Amino acid sequence: MHISEGVLSAPVLVAGVAMAAAGVSVGLKKMDYERIPQVAVLSSAFFVASLIHVPIGPSNAHLILNGINGLLLGWLCFPSILVALALQALLFQFGGITVLGINTVNMALPGLICYYLFSRLVNRERGFISLGAAFACGLVAVFLSGILVALSLLFTEESFMSVAKLIVLAHLPVMIIEGIITLFCVAFLKRVKPELLGGIHEKGS
């Protein structure tokens, strides 16, 4: 779902940089040394998952994992995703440097929104509610990323309308897959490392 270089208008690029800088700034302020390994692992997962992609016009379809990223990290998902996107741009020319800001916002902001929407439900003891919220978190995060990518294109030029619709529709299967992946990740963490899910609000993320 990365947007390629040379597609977006200058105002959209500048807005993306400003929003990404604000998100990363808040994330870094909330980060402590104990959470650096967790941020690094989730950044690596995002890096690997989104390398396998199918081109769709000026964007592409791929796994994102921004739902689980946001669920576990909160605001820290901004620096986590920024690092992964920067490495992809530098090592594989995937995305690009000028679109780094807007791509970060398009991936990280939905993760943050889902953190506030679903984290308390995921932390409930009732398995059905918790796992249902986990599935919804993965699905909604990808859906919101698709909407943000579409808006980025539409704010650049209205002629991108057909491409914007195609990007959202092409990610419908990805939404389901990401929901299932997030569900299984939460179920696994509840069994082996529940502290990664419990008490995340108290940590101030």
Q: What was the pLDDT predicted at 136?
A: 95
- Whether the Cβ atoms of residue 83 and residue 25 lie closer than 8 Å to each other: no
First-to-final CA distance of the chain = 26
Q: How many domains does the chain have?
A: 1
115 in a domain, yes or no?
A: yes
Please name which of 68, 64, 80 lies closest in space to residue 28, comparing C-alpha atoms. Answer: 80
- Whether the Cβ atoms of residue 61 and residue 163 lie closer than 8 Å to each other: no
158 in a domain, yes or no?
A: yes
88 in a domain, yes or no?
A: yes
Q: pLDDT over 70 for what percent of the chain? A: 89
Which residues are registered as beta bridge partners of 25?
none
70 in a domain, yes or no?
A: yes
144 in a domain, yes or no?
A: yes
In which residue are the tokens 């509840």 written? 190
26 in a domain, yes or no?
A: yes
Rounded distance, CA 86 to CA 80, Å? 10
What tokens were used for 148? Answer: 């943000």
176 in a domain, yes or no?
A: yes
Secondary structure element (H or E) that encloses residue 55, with its range: strand 53-56
Rounded distance, CA 40 to CA 44, Å? 6
Residue 125 pLDDT greater than 50, yes or no: yes
Averaged pLDDT for residues 33-51: 87
76 in a domain, yes or no?
A: yes
Q: What was the pLDDT predicted at 17?
A: 96
- Whether the Cβ atoms of residue 62 and residue 174 lie closer than 8 Å to each other: yes
CATH number at residue 158: 1.10.1760.20
The domain of 181 spans 10-196
- Give tens-digit pLDDT for 105-120: 999 999 999 999 998 8
Q: What was the pLDDT predicted at 169?
A: 81
Please name which of 161, 180, 157 lies closest in space to residue 169, comparing C-alpha atoms. Answer: 161
DSSP sequence for 66-115: HHHHHHHHGGGHHHHHHHHHHHHHHHH--S-STTHHHHHHHHHHHHHHHH
What tokens were used for 17? Answer: 């940089």
